[in-house]
Amino acid sequence: MAYSAEKAAAFAYQGHAGSVKDKEEKKSIQQIELDEWKHRSEVLMMMKQYNIPVSKFYEVRFYIIGKIISYSCYVIGWFMPFYFAGKLESGNVCEYFRMIHYFHELVITEHDQLLYEMGIKEKEHEVYFLEKIKSCKLLPYFEKYFSWGIQKSDNDVNLNTKFPVEESEKYCKK
């Protein structure tokens, strides 16, 4: 699912970047889109290594989701694309750390560094989006309703006090 979900995220960021006027915001969001395509490629390499097929169902599902989100960015205003991108990235952080947990159950450690880097990159994306909206008056209401914002995150990664790769199993245990 992570493979297909990265496509949805990349498509969403195409619309998000297209909908913002600020050139620096546009550039940052375009870089995040490129990061998502890179993650998709890296996940595919792991899937091929273990002969895991790409799910046509998830590919279609996340294609549609990504395109709908992409188009909606042009009509829902400035705040909501930043907010929901941050919420999405917050959840994605643990996807990669959980993969490390699952691989360790199989006594496979060769992907630890790559998965760690992808999880940290997703956290950087989350922090970027939160920084953009942290002073917006809507944030407290959205945080209360959607459980993400300044006080709440969907992961336990702190970029200021990162565990090393060797201790990354400490992340995302819930």
Identify which of 76, 142, 88 has the alpha carbon closest to the alpha carbon of residue 150: 142
Domain count, the chain: 2
b/e sequence 94-115, b meaning 16+ C-beta within 10 Å: bbbbbbbeebeeeeeeebbebb
Q: How far apart are CA 46 and CA 146, in angstroms?
A: 32
92 & 37 share domain: no
* pLDDT tens per residue, range 12-56: 999 999 999 999 999 999 999 999 999 999 999 999 999 999 999
In the predicted model, is pLDDT for residue 159 greater than 80? Answer: yes
**Domain end among 10, 44, 76:** 76
User: Can you spell out the DSSP letters for 141-169?
Assistant: HHHHHHS-SSS--SS---GGGPPPGGGGG
Q: Indicate left, alpha or beta for 157 from its phi (over 0: left) and psi (-120 to 50: alpha).
A: beta
In the predicted model, is pLDDT for residue 174 greater than 80? Answer: no
Q: How far apart are CA 148 and CA 163, in angstroms?
A: 23
88 & 159 share domain: yes
29 & 86 share domain: no
91 & 40 share domain: no
User: Taking residues 66-81, what's their average pLDDT?
Assistant: 95
40 & 11 share domain: yes
User: Taking residues 157-166, what's their average pLDDT?
Assistant: 96
Residue ranges making up the domain that contains 54? 1-76
In the predicted model, is pLDDT for residue 1 greater than 80? Answer: no
Confidence of residue 2 (pLDDT cuts 50, 70, 90): confident
Task: Give the tokens for residue 72.
Answer: 């909606």
Confidence of residue 69 (pLDDT cuts 50, 70, 90): very high
What rounded mean pLDDT belongs to the chain? 95
